[in-house]
Structure 1
């Protein structure tokens, strides 16, 4: 017997409403705690208005929301199935000859559609908002003066020159460009450094075959300094004071949360062509692609623990087990993604394994526990 569109729409509508209400409640709680934390950090800084803090809390929500999506899918599906079972609606549906797969299909469809929307629409919009949040955070809370970007032309870095740190370098800031970066060791190739004073006036340019980041300074090899008046001189021992460390430089790159799903492939390619390791971004990219399958697995898990008659006294235990399983999947996924980012396992399998394993296990469990 084929399930009708009216019944399918009814099930899909109930599940969608429950999911949106639960997601809104979770985001509200997270926003409250994030805002309190931002207010604490803003209290240690100067000239950070309350309106800006509230705005930063809202801008950060998409980052947290995408982490909460699997839990919202799982818990809302558990509540929907439990609600329909408690009211005997699903029992009537099954007595009418419909299988468990037929009345689960609308819920599965909503979950998969939500995963596709998160990947193709919610993630790009959220990336813009999170990028704005990080920009405000670096400006008002972290007071970060160094900026790093990677393009097809290579690495670009802007840093201030510490006042009084050296007599051979003028005070102000520099913009450093390198065509290639050799990992590990952070050896820059074909380096150019532009020097500016505090009023943005160009002072001089330094060209070098290579440069390396040492403890507290950049060390240039075979450097040639071009003065503003046209004079040049060679400096075999040229150094540039810096407060950056290798960890600071790596952490300054665009985080995965600020990169749109549609822009990730080209950015990954640019990083790899420049010489950087893009494993963390690859894991993030594949993880976004796996979201629809993971959301479907969450619905199957919810069905296992919720499709029980009200008289079954083991329902509470199964429900608790479902919550535990949801958090177990989250930690397993985070662990595998960390392994993929560190190149311990291939990024593809680091991202896809949790969703694929959970979906297959959920499929087998529903088939064994239900007679549909």
Structure 2
């Protein structure tokens, strides 16, 4: 038992060093290409300095590391187990009666720990830094109008109408929306006010609106009710719990939100009428990251522990890289399908990692006991 524990600690140390080194190398390589792309884009903006481009690339580095982590665990694991097999250390361990399941438990748990740290610690830091990077990128390098421009400039919002008791609802539609200096303004605004049973009560038409702290300020607004003449144009203040930041975040990438902030923000999106599929999928993907990391470690072990004297080692390692890369791609494709609403969010986030885990366990059972 003591020998197995000592061997497990030795293997997990080698595994952690290999994965960390691979993560740093791959993150640095991807960040270098990202930096070169930013330099290319800044060529048409003479006012953008080299320091600003460097700052944007540096702020994106934790996000890049989060995306690279599963593949870094795969390659680092293959490198670690291949070296241990080539030096006959794992062969000697098996000859001493220690099964693969015993000495693979520690590195698998280590890989899962990498995923837990990435989700719980790195993700909040990454979201803040990525949000800052996207703000600088939008300000200095993009000619567009920011995330709202991606929606065609229009805005649909469903929110609680606190002026109606007990649980009124207001649906707000604006033909055009502009965001300047942290001020959100809208043109040609219509507000549909419903009761708690979604029965129509009244409609407000306004030429313009501005989102203030705690309310929408509607200019030249007319209130229309059934069987009544329209009111004279006036200014109407409509209470709201939305802020400019929340409207921006609803259109921005879910990667700019911390895993700890996502549940509350998803609830806010559902109350406000925004689609929360992207955010729910990102939240579930973050929760599934430890399982995906552990799966990558087992895939690496299954394809790299073949004794060198049996030949075909290069083919086995190449197959491992291909299998891990295929699993990584499948997880991304499943996320895209989940975002379309075709696949349930939980299934899209967890199924690829679960299927990969079953595959790797089956492979190890064939190698060890078959």
Distance 1:251 1:295, change over 3 A: same
TM-score, length of structure 2 as denominator length: 0.76
Structure 1 distance, partners of 2:31, 2:127, is 17
Pair 1:360-2:358 in alignment: yes
Over 3 Å counting, the alpha-carbon distance change for 1:174 and 1:251 in structure 2 is closer
In the TM superposition, residue 223 of structure 1 has moved relative to its aligned partner by 9.7
In the alignment, what sits opposite 2:290?
A: 292
Q: How many Å apart are 1:9 and its aligned residue?
A: 2.2
Alpha-carbon contact 1:2-1:98 (below 8 Å) kept: no
Structure 2 partner of 1:326: 324
Tell me how far apart the structure 2 counterparts of residues 114 and 179 of structure 1 sit (CA, whole Å): 48
Measured against aligned partners, the alpha-carbon deviations of 1:186-240 in whole angstroms (never above 9, x if no partner) come to xxx86760399xxxxxx98244679xxxxxxxxxxx897547xxxx9xxxxxxxx
- 1:175 counterpart = 2:185: yes
Cα distance in structure 1, aligned partners of 2:312 and 2:331: 28
Give the whole-Å Cα distance in 2 for the aligned partners of 1:181 and 1:256.
Answer: 30
Q: Which runs of 5+ in 2 are unaligned?
A: 149-154, 161-169, 195-202, 225-229, 237-246
In the alignment, does 2:10 pair up with 1:27? no
- State the distance in 2 between where 1:347 and 1:123 align: 20
1:142-291 to structure 2, matched below 5 A, reads: 142-145=142-145, 159=178, 175-176=185-186, 193-194=209-210, 205-207=219-221, 226=234, 253-291=251-289
Aligned residues: 318
| CA-CA distance at 1:285 after TM superposition | 0.9
Give 3-state SS (helix, strand or coil) of 1:370's partner.
helix
Task: Give 1:341 deviation, angstroms.
Answer: 0.7
1:85 equivalent in structure 2: 85
Q: CA deviation at 1:292?
A: 1.1
Alignment correspondent of 1:111: 111
Local SS of the residue matching 1:44? coil
- What is the distance in 1 between the residues matched to 2:37 and 2:277? 31
Paired residue secondary structure (1:55)? helix
Deviations 1:289-325 (A, max 9, x none): 1111111111111111111111121211111111111
Q: 1:100 to 1:206 in 2, by over 3 A?
A: farther
Alpha carbon RMSD of aligned pairs, Å?
3.4
> Quick one: structure 1 residues 195 and 325, their matched pair in 2 at CA, closer, same or farther if it must change by over 3 Å?
closer
Question: Does the C-alpha gap of structure 1 residues 206 and 353 become closer, same or farther in structure 2, counting only changes over 3 Å?
Answer: farther
Name structure 1 gaps, 5 residues minimum.
162-172, 183-188, 197-202, 211-221, 233-248
Partner of 1:66: 66
- The secondary structure found in structure 1 opposite 2:178 is strand
Q: Is contact 2:31–2:64 with CA below 8 Å preserved after alignment?
A: no
Contact kept? 2:147, 2:252, Cα under 8 Å: no
Aligned to 2:244: none
Q: Which residue of 2 aligns with 1:166?
A: none
Aligned to 2:343: 345
Which residue does 2:166 correspond to in 1?
none
Please, what TM-score do these two structures have when normalized by structure 1? 0.76
Residue 369 of structure 2: SS of its match in structure 1? coil
Q: How far apart are the structure 2 equivalents of 1:331 and 1:133?
A: 26
Alignment of 1:300-315 (within 5 A): 300-315=298-313
Report if aligned partners of 1:147, 1:158 keep a CA contact under 8 Å in 2: no
